[in-house]
Amino acid sequence: MKKMTVVFDDDALYTTVKVEAARRNQPVKELVSQALREWLEAQEDAELLSEIETARAEWQEKGGIEASEFFARLKAQARPDAL
């Protein structure tokens, strides 16, 4: 376990965090740790979203098709009489 001191320059924020921790019946350190984990995950998701959008644009540019259509075509090719 590592320790870190957090200094709140905003008294209202400090009070809000303390009240929320008490309302949830958990220590402030758990509330802050959870908030940081969620924030880091959101940052990672935002980064991935950019990469996904880039891949989607490339897919559309190259004439991509939906997976359901792709698999339907494969199935039809496997059974020529299904056409």
pLDDT at 22: 97
User: Total structural domains in the chain?
Assistant: 1
Euclidean distance between CA atoms 13 and 31, whole angstroms: 13
Residue 39 is given by DSSP the state H
Residue 77 in this model has a pLDDT that exceeds 90: no
Question: 32: domain range?
Answer: 11-82
Residue range 17-73, pLDDT digits in tens: 999 999 999 999 999 999 999 999 999 888 888 888 888 888 888 888 888 888 888
In a domain, residue 34? The reply is: yes
Phi first, then psi: what are they for 75, rounded to 5°? -65, -40
pLDDT at 39: 95
CB-based contact 28:21 (threshold 8 Å): yes
Residue 16 in this model has a pLDDT that exceeds 90: yes
In a domain, residue 4? The reply is: no
